[in-house]
Amino acid sequence: MAGTGTGRARRDFMRGVAVALLMVPLLASAAQAQAAPDSFANLAERLSPAVVNISTSQLLGTGPQSIPGVPEGSPLNDFFKEFMEQQGQRPQRVQSLGSGFVIDPSGVIVTNNHVIDGADRIEVIFMDGTTLPAVLTGRDPKTDIAVLKVESKTPLPFVELGDSSKARVGDWVIAIGNPFGLGGTVTAGIISALNRDIHAGNYDDFIQTDASINRGNSGGPLFDMEGRVVGVNSAIISPSGASVGIGFAVPTSTVRPVVEQILEHGETRRGWIGVRIQTVTPEIADSLGLTPARGALIAGINEDGPAAMAGIEPGDVVLSFDGRNIGAMRDLPRVVAETDVGKTVDVEIFRGGRTLGVKVQVARLDESEETPAAVPAETAPGPARTVVLGLSLTALTAETRQGFNVDAQTQGVLVSDVDPASAAAEKGVRPGDVILQVAQRDVATPADVERIVASEEKAGRNTVLLRLSSGGDMRFVALRLGGQ
C-alpha cells in the first residue's frame, strides 16, 4: 500500500509539472498581448501640444440685403437694408469649434471637412493659447478630410500618421480633442471593431472605438500606444449627441493618400475603371456557381472606360484588384480609388464558372460625375403576356416603350407587371424593368425567358440570374426556381 501511495504521488507530481509546462507558452502569449498601461499621462503629455482646437465662423444672411437690379450704394437699397434689419433679417456670424492635429512642423494640419465646411474664417488655437489664422489647402468631402495650413515663426509640435492596417480589435487607443469646447481633453478606450460601414459614403472603412468621442472631437486624432495617429475621429452614434461608447474614426490607410494628394495637387485624384457594381448575395453566387459568396458583381460597364477596354463584362465578379482581395462589394471602390492613376493592374475575375486574369489601366475619376437618377416607370397597357417567376412579360414595342418610358437603345423583355407575393417583388423588380439577360444569355422575347428558365430548372439550378435595366440603371437579381 505504501508503494502504491508513493507511485500515485509521483504520478500526481509529474502531471502537475506537465500542466505547468503547458501553461508556459500561454503565459508568454498573454505577456506579449498589449496590456493596459498604468497611466496614459506620458502619452498625453507628449502628444497634446500637437492637437489643436479649430474655431470657424461664417456669415449667415437670413434674407436679401439689396433690391435686385438696383445698384449698390443707392439710397433705395440703404432704405431696404434698414427695413430688413428692423424685421430681424440682419445677417449673423455663426461660430463653431472642432479639433485637428499638426502633421508637419511647417504648419500642416489635418481635420474633418465638416468642421470647416462653409467657413469664411478659420483659426487654429494651440495648447499654449497661441492663435493662428489658417487657410484651407484642400478638402475631400467623400472621406470627410480637410487639410489646413498655418504660418508660424518657429517649428510646431507635430505627430506622425501611423499604419492603421496593423490595428487590431481590442487594442488600446486614446483620443485627444475639443469636446463641447473644452480644449485638450484626453479619453481612452479600445478599438471595438474595424472596417465599419456606417453608410456615410462609398469609401466607408471606419475604426469603431469606445474611447469617448463627443461634439467638438471631430477632426481630432485617435492614437495607438506608440503615439502614432491611426484614425481621425469623425462620427458618433447617439440619440442624445453625447458619447454612448460608439465612436468612429477614419483610418489612416484612407487619410494618408488623401492628405498626400491634397498637398501635392490641392485636390484628390482617385482611380476609376468605369464599372457599376452590386453585392454578390448567396442567391447570386449560387446562380453563378461561385462558392462562397464574395467579390463585387459587375452590373454595368462604361463603354469607353478602362474596364471595357480590358474585356471585363457585366456579370463578371471581381475577386481581386492589384493583388488586394475583394471580399465584398464595398471593398472595390475603395481599392480602385486608392490606386495610382495611370497604373496598369492585375484583376482577377470569375466568369462562366472559372477564374480569369485581366489587366486594367486605371484612369482618373471625374469627381463631378453624378449618377443619373432612374426615371420612374409608369404602368401602361400592353399586348398578350407571359408569366414567369411571378413576372408578367411582354415584348418591347413602340407602344410599350412609350408607355413604360423605355429608351430605343434598350433591348430585352419588358416586365409589365409583378406578382406582389413573388420573390421578384421582394427583390425590388418593378413594372417597367427590362430583362436584358437570363443566366447570362441575351433575351429578346418572353419565350426566350421562359425557355432559359425551364432549362435552368431542368439542369438542377436552385436560382436563376436576371440582368435588368431599371430606368437605364443596370443591376442583377437572383430569383429562386421552383415556385414564386
Round to whole Å and give the CA distance between 149 and 137.
Answer: 6
pLDDT in tens, 108-123: 999 999 999 888 899 9
**What pLDDT, on a 0 to 100 scale, did the predictor assign at position 245?**
81
219: left (phi over 0), alpha (psi -120 to 50) or beta: left
Same domain, 96 and 159: yes
Report if residue 273 sits inside a domain: no
Active site residues: 114, 144, 218
Same domain, 97 and 233: yes
Same domain, 254 and 324: no
Decide if 362 contacts 339 (C-beta within 8 A): yes
Percent with pLDDT over 70 in the chain: 79
Q: Which residue range(s) make up the domain with 311?
A: 292-364
Report if residue 392 sits inside a domain: yes
Report if residue 148 sits inside a domain: yes
Helix (H, G, I), strand (E, B), or coil: what is residue 94? strand
Pairing between strand 434-438 and 413-418? antiparallel
Same domain, 220 and 303: no
On average, the pLDDT of the chain sits at: 82
Report if residue 9 sits inside a domain: no
Instruction: Identify the H or E element spanning 464.
Output: strand 463-470
- Final residue before a domain boundary, out of 364, 394, 425: 364
141: DSSP letter: T
Neighbours of 11 (CB within 10 A): 10
Report if residue 242 sits inside a domain: yes
User: Cell numbers at residue 400, please?
Assistant: 410599350
Same domain, 105 and 228: yes
pLDDT in tens, 187-239: 999 999 998 887 777 778 899 999 988 888 889 999 999 999 999 999 887 66
Decide if 143 contacts 116 (C-beta within 8 A): no
Round to whole Å and give the CA distance between 226 and 42.
Answer: 11
- Final residue before a domain boundary, out of 302, 329, 364: 364
Enter the pTM of the model: 0.66
Round to whole Å and give the CA distance between 54 and 146.
Answer: 12
Same domain, 320 and 403: no
Q: Please give the torsion angle defined by the CA atoms of residues 211, 212, 216 and 222, in that order, rounded to the nearest 10 degrees.
A: -10
| pLDDT, greater one: 129 or 67 | 129
363: DSSP letter: E
Same domain, 113 and 219: yes
Same domain, 98 and 157: yes
Domain count, the chain: 3
The CATH number of the domain where 134 resides is what?
2.40.10.120
Same domain, 117 and 245: yes
Report if residue 4 sits inside a domain: no
Same domain, 340 and 395: no
- Where b means 16+ CB within 10 Å and e means fewer, 172-199 reads bbbbbbbbeeebbbbbbbbbbebebeee
pLDDT in tens, 226-263: 999 999 999 887 666 667 788 999 999 999 999 999 99
Report if residue 103 sits inside a domain: yes
Same domain, 197 and 98: yes
- Final residue before a domain boundary, out of 331, 364, 397: 364
Same domain, 317 and 431: no
Report if residue 329 sits inside a domain: yes
